[in-house]
Amino acid sequence: MTGTLIVVGVGPGDPELMTVKAARAIAAAPVVAYFAKHGRRGHARTIADTYLAPGARELRLEYPYTTEIALDDPRYAEGFATFYAQCAARLAEELDGGADVALLCEGDPFLYGSSLPLLDRLSQSHATTVIPGVCGMSGCWTAARLPMTHGDDVLSVIPGTLDEASLAAALSGCDAAVVMKIGRNLDKVRAALARTGRAEQAIYVERGTMAGERTMKLRDLRDAPAPYFSLVLVPGRRRAR
């Protein structure tokens, strides 16, 4: 019998915001896999630290690069395709040997989840299950105590990697917005918000629910670029409730 790949959403950062189901799955898994940047422990692994069973084997899946190569460089997609194929082979070996594998994923696996490339590669050949998690944006707007949507407000989730014109168009077509992937795109996001008259509403959240959390008006932010764990929130129309 082969094992089951259990993709576990570990939440936005605070270990106490992990679901009971996720904690139980991690504690029961004989093998725990997670992504990590070179020289780093891995964010999902840090969140799950207290839930791993003594003696659980760990599969560290180290990214070949993160920001060293541009997204539109052909080498980026080629390198990651090879990397994900190698990772899937490592997990398949464990599964074929009969071991269940818990694959940790920050936030919720089905919302920009880092686990999706491996789930795509393994779900046709192996038993899989997915445990949802509190998404990062939910942790951030709660940390900011910022109600986002009211009544029939339309909420858009917008990647900051879009060009400025596309960002502005997306912001113009919604009532509330979450702008993710800020990082090096901070100045472009600022410009798009100003272009659409949304700059004064924008709230910046960094490392929401984690140590070092910061929340402020985007206009007050002086740092650039923004760190990886940051996003910008634009609340909805705030009609009477």
Complete edge-to-edge strand list for the sheet that includes strand 101-105: 57-62, 31-36, 101-105, 4-9, 127-131
- Cα gap 92→237, rounded to integer Å: 48
pLDDT band at 237 (very low <50, low <70, confident <90, very high): confident
Q: Is the pLDDT of residue 10 over 80?
A: yes
Q: What is the pLDDT of residues 171-226, one digit of tens each?
A: 999 999 999 999 889 999 999 999 999 999 999 999 999 999 999 999 999 877 88
pLDDT band at 240 (very low <50, low <70, confident <90, very high): low
Going by their DSSP bridges, the two strands 230-234 and 203-206 should be labelled as antiparallel
**Which two structure tokens, joined as six digits, stand for 160?**
């900051």
**Which two structure tokens, joined as six digits, stand for 99?**
């071991």
Q: What is the pLDDT of residue 67?
A: 67
pLDDT band at 40 (very low <50, low <70, confident <90, very high): confident
Q: What is the pLDDT of residue 227?
A: 87
Q: What value does the mean pLDDT take over residues 60-87? A: 84
Q: Which of 138, 230, 218, 141 is nearest to 184 (CA)?
A: 230
pLDDT band at 241 (very low <50, low <70, confident <90, very high): low
Q: What is the pLDDT of residues 102-122, one digit of tens each?
A: 999 999 999 999 999 999 999
pLDDT band at 77 (very low <50, low <70, confident <90, very high): confident
pTM of the model: 0.91
Domains of the chain and CATH, by start? 4-134 (3.40.1010.10), 137-234 (3.30.950.10)
